[in-house]
């Protein structure tokens, strides 16, 4: 699993510009990739903003970012009971977001 911090990568010149970050390409090549902030205070970025940039600047789809977050959950340092509970909450939240609005 590869954890990326796109904004920090652009700020430290690991990539020339945020638009050129390989996050989407890595994901499409089947690499288990996740998104993080590196150092929120140094980079002046929130995780929510990193997700927005992944979609709006880097070109990932919302579904790809959702999948990356699920991969992060699976790779996290938690016991299986906690991970199962979080996975359930995550899937429930996704279902609520995709539920059609009532007429």
Residue ranges per domain, the chain? 2-97
Q: 81 — alpha (psi -120 to 50), left (phi > 0) or beta?
A: alpha
Q: What is the rounded average pLDDT for all residues in the chain?
A: 91
Q: How large is the C-alpha radius of gyration of the chain?
A: 15
Mean pLDDT over 45-51 rounds to 93
pTM of the model: 0.83
Residue 93: Cβ-neighbour burial (10 angstroms; 0-12, 13-18, 19+)? exposed
Mean pLDDT of 19-44: 92
Q: How confident is the model at residue 57 (pLDDT cuts 50, 70, 90)?
A: very high
Predicted confidence at residue 18, as pLDDT, reads: 96
Q: What is the Cα–Cα distance from 8 to 28, expressed in whole angstroms?
A: 22
| Residue 101 banded pLDDT, cuts 50, 70, 90 | low
Q: What is the pLDDT of residue 41?
A: 78
- Cα–Cα distances (Å) from 54 to 34, 43, 62, 64, in that order, read 11, 16, 9, 9
């Amino acid at each position: 699993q590869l954890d990326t911090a796109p904004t920090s990568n652009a700020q430290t010149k690991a990539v020339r510009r945020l638009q050129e970050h390989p996050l989407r390409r890595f994901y499409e090549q089947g690499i288990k990739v996740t998104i993080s902030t590196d150092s929120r205070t140094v980079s002046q970025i929130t995780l929510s903003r990193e997700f927005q940039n992944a979609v709006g600047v880097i070109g990932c789809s919302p579904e790809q970012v959702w999948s990356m977050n699920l991969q992060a959950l699976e790779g996290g340092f938690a016991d299986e009971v906690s991970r199962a509970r979080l996975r359930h909450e995550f899937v429930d939240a996704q279902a609520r977001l995709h539920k059609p609005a009532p007429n």
